[in-house]
Structure 1
Amino acid sequence: MKAGSSVLVASEVLRQHCELVAFLWAQRDTLLIEDPPDFAVAEEIRGRTEVNLDGLRLAGAAAWPFIVEQHRNFPEKGELFAYSWMAVEQSDQRRISEAVDFGRATDDDARGLIGALAWHNPRTIAPLVRDWIVAPDAFKRFIGVSACIAHGVDPRQMLARLIRDPDMKVRAQAARLAGNLKRSDLARDLQAALDDNHEAVRFWAGWALIELGIGARAREALRRVVEEAGPDAQMALRVLIRSGDEEAVRAWIGGLMKSRVTAPIAVRGVGMLGDRSVLSWLIERMREPIVSAAAGAAFLELFPEARNEGGLFSADPADAGPDFVKHFEDGLITLPIADRVSAWARNAGVLVGEI
C-alpha cells in the first residue's frame, strides 16, 4: 500500500472513531433519559464508547481536526461530549474554555459537557471543578456542581453557599448534591429552599430532605410539584411512592386520575407501585389518547422483558386509531398498541387479573 493510501485509511479510521464516540454516547444518554431507562442496553453501549475513546487517546492531537469539524457541522450533545472529553483528556485549557462556551449555548443544560466530566476520573477534573464552583460565572458554578454530583464529591463548606446561589439551576443542583451526600447539616437551608420560586429547586430540596429522613414538609412540597404537573412531577411522584405509606399514596393517585392535567402522571405512577396485576387496567388506558403514552411507560417498567418484543409500540399514531391521530397531530411520540400488548400478555401468561 502506498504511503498516501495509508494516511487516507488512517484518517478515515480516526474520523470513524470521532463519529462513533459522538453517536454512541448520545445514544446511551438518550436511553438513560427515556421513560423508563433501558439500563442493560446503555451498559453495552458504554463499552463500545470506551473502545472508540481509546482510539482518540491513541491518536492524540491528530484527532482534533475531525472533532472540530463534526462539532461545527452538527453541534449536538454527542459532538459536545467528544469535544469536551478530548479537551479534558489532553488538559488543553483553550479547548476546555471552548467546550464551556459551547455548553453554555446549548438548550439541554450542556448534557454533552457534563457527560464528559462524568466520564473522566474525578482526580483529572478536580482542578477545574474547584475553580468553577467559586467562579463569578453562574454557568461554570452549575457545571461544577453537576460534576460533583456525577462523582459524589463533597465541596464541603461551599455547598451551603451554593444552595443559596443567585442562579436557580445552581441552587437546584446544590440541593440535589446535598441529598446525595446526606448532608444533614444543611437541613435548614434545604427547608428554606422548599419555598423557592422555582419548581426544580423545590423538588430537589424536597427530595434531599426525604433522603435525610426529614419528610413531613418535604412531602407536602413534592405533592404540590406533582399536582402542578410541571417537568419534575414524575420524579416527585416516584419519591413520594418510595417514601410514603402505600395505601395513602394509592388513594392520592386515585384523586390525581380525576383531572385531565394530572391523569397521565397518575397512570405513570401505577407502574411505579410495582404491582403487575394491574396489566389489564393499563391495557385499557392504552386505548385512551390522553394517558396512552403514560400507560406504555408504566407497562415497560412492570414488564421490562417486553422491550425485546417487536411491534408492541409504534411511532405512527394511526396504528393506535383515528382518535390518536387527531390527539397527537404531527407530534413525535411512540405509543403502545393496546391489542398487540394484550396479545403478547396472553401469550406470555402475564395477564393475571383486573383492578
Structure 2
Amino acid sequence: MIALVLEQHAEEASFLAILRDYAVGAPNYDLSHLATLDNRIDAHLDGLQVAGLKGLNLLLEQLRPAASGEVFAATVLAFRMGNSPALSSLGEHLRTSEEGERYFAAALGWLDWAVVQPWVERLLASPEPLFRRLGLAACGMHRHDPGPALLSALGNSDPSVLARAARTAGELRRRDLMQPIRLHRLHSDDALRFWSNWATAQMGDEQALPVLQQFAEQPGRYQERALHVALAWLPRETSMAWIRRMTQVPQQRRIAIKATGLFGDPVALPWLLQQMHDLPMARAAGEAFSLITGVDLALHDLERRDSPDFDAGPSDDPQDGNVAMDPDESLPWPEPTLVQGWLNKHSASLQTGSAYLLGEPFSEGACVRALSSANQRQRQVAAGLLARYIPTEAVFPVSAPAQRQKGLLRGRSV
C-alpha cells in the first residue's frame, strides 16, 4: 500500500512539473492558477520526502534518457535531504540528457535560496560547462548576484557558459558587465548571440536592438523573446515602421500581429479585427486585441459559438512532417462581429496614438497591476515593459514559484 502511494506521488509530482513548464508561458494560467499548481507539486514532493530514501530512490530509478519531470522531483528531494550520492547520480544523468538539464535547473529555481546556495557555489566553481551553466541559471532564476563568478564566466571559452552568463547578467541588470557581453553580440552561436544582445538591451544598449529585430523576424526559439524586448526598448517611431514592414510580408504576418499587440496603439484595432476573419491568424489577433484593450474574450462572450474546423497540427498522420504544437491552442476563437460590437461601445475610451497595456496607458503602475492579475503571457509582456520603467531593478521573474512572486509584488503600488 505504501509503495503504491509513493508511486502515485512520484507520478503526479513528475507530471505536474511538466505541466508547470507549460503553464508559466500559457494564456490560460495566471498567478493564482500558478499558486494552486505550485501547492499541488509541493504536496506530492512532501509525500515523497516523508518517505525519506524510499521516495528519493523511487525517483532516481525513473531517470530514463528522456526523463524530465522525474529529474525535477528527484533534484528537489536530493537537495532538501542534502543527499550527495543522489546529486552525483543526477549529475551523471545530466551529462547525456539536455532535457534533464532544463528540469534540474528548474528545480534549483524552485527551491529556497538558502537550500541551494552552498551547492550553487560549487557549481559556479566547476570546470565543467554543464555545472557552471547550472550554477549561473540558479543565480539568474533567484535573481541572486553571484559577484565575481559572473565576470569569470563571461571569460569562459565555452559558448554555452557565455550565453548563460549573459542571460543571468541581463536578468540582474548588471550594467557594469555590458562591455564584456557586447564582445559576443555578433557571435556565430545563435544562443550566445541572442542572449548577449538580449542582456545588453535590458541595460539600455541601443546597438543590441537591430540584432534582436533579426531574431524576431525569423521563426525559432528566440523569436518571441526577441520581439518583446525589441518593442519594449525601440523608439515608438522605429517600432511603428518596423511593424508596418512586417505586415507587408505574408510569412511575417503572425509575428506582425503579435507585435501590434505589444505596441499597444488602438489605431491598429480595426486591422486586428480583419485578421480575426482568417482562421490561422484569428486567435493570435484576438490575443493581441485583448493585450491592448484588456477585454477578456471568453469572459465577455466574444467567442465563436462553435470552434471552427481548423487544425494547426500536429496530426495523427505519421507521415506528416508538421510536429509543432499549435501555439494558440489555449486561446479563445474570437467572433469578429461580436468583437466589433464591443469595440463600437468602448473605442471612445482608447486614444489612438497612445500605447495601452490591458486597457491602461503604458506606465509602471499598469505593469505592476498586470503582474498581479493578468495571464502568464500578458505577465511576460508586463515584466518586459516594467524593466524599461525601472532600469535599475532585476527583471521580474514571472516563472518563479508563485509565493516568491507574490512576495516581490507586496508593497508595490497597484
TM over 0.5: yes
- 1:226: which partner in 2? 216
1:43 aligns with 2:35: yes
- 2:242: which partner in 1? 252
Structure showing the higher helix proportion among its residues: 1
1:208-227 counterparts in 2 under 5 A?
A: 208-213=199-204, 215-227=205-217
Higher RCO, 1 vs 2 (CA within 8 Å, ≥6 residues apart): 2
How big is the shift at 1:30?
0.8
Whole-angstrom distance in 1 between the partners of 2:321 and 2:288: 20
Q: 1:198 to 1:295 in 2, by over 3 A?
A: farther
- 1:237: which partner in 2? 227
Aligned residues: 340
How big is the shift at 1:335?
4.7
1:292-303 counterparts in 2 under 5 A?
A: 294-295=284-285, 297-299=287-289, 301-302=291-292, 303=294
How big is the shift at 1:174?
0.7
* 1:324-352 deviation line (CA, Å, top 9, x unaligned): 99x996754265799753366368x3565
Q: 2:326 corresponds to which letter in structure 1?
A: I
Whole-angstrom distance in 1 between the partners of 2:181 and 2:219: 22
- Aligned-residue identity in percent: 26
- Choose from 317, 321, 336 the match for 1:342: 336
Q: 1:254 to 1:184 in 2, by over 3 A?
A: same
Q: 1:104 to 1:268 in 2, by over 3 A?
A: farther
Q: TM-score, normalised by structure 1?
A: 0.81
Whole-angstrom distance in 2 between the partners of 1:287 and 1:335: 15
* 1:250-270 deviation line (CA, Å, top 9, x unaligned): 221111222244332222111
- Choose from 84, 89, 103 the match for 1:98: 89
- Choose from 7, 13, 16 the match for 1:24: 16
- Choose from 262, 274, 281 the match for 2:271: 281
Question: Any gaps of 5 or more consecutive residues in structure 2?
Answer: 353-414
> What CA RMSD, in Å, does the superposition of the two structures yield over aligned residues?
3.6
Q: 2:339 corresponds to which letter in structure 1?
A: A
Q: 1:29 to 1:286 in 2, by over 3 A?
A: same
* 1:262-312 deviation line (CA, Å, top 9, x unaligned): 332222111212346745533432444664564355356455734668995
Q: 1:295 to 1:217 in 2, by over 3 A?
A: same
* 1:220-270 deviation line (CA, Å, top 9, x unaligned): 222232234443122111112112222321221111222244332222111
Whole-angstrom distance in 1 between the partners of 2:39 and 2:267: 36
Q: 1:34 to 1:149 in 2, by over 3 A?
A: same
- 2:252: which partner in 1? 262
- 1:129: which partner in 2? 120
- Choose from 330, 333, 337 the match for 2:326: 333
Is contact 1:265-1:294 (8 Å) kept?
A: no
Q: 2:162 corresponds to which letter in structure 1?
A: R
- 1:320: which partner in 2? 310
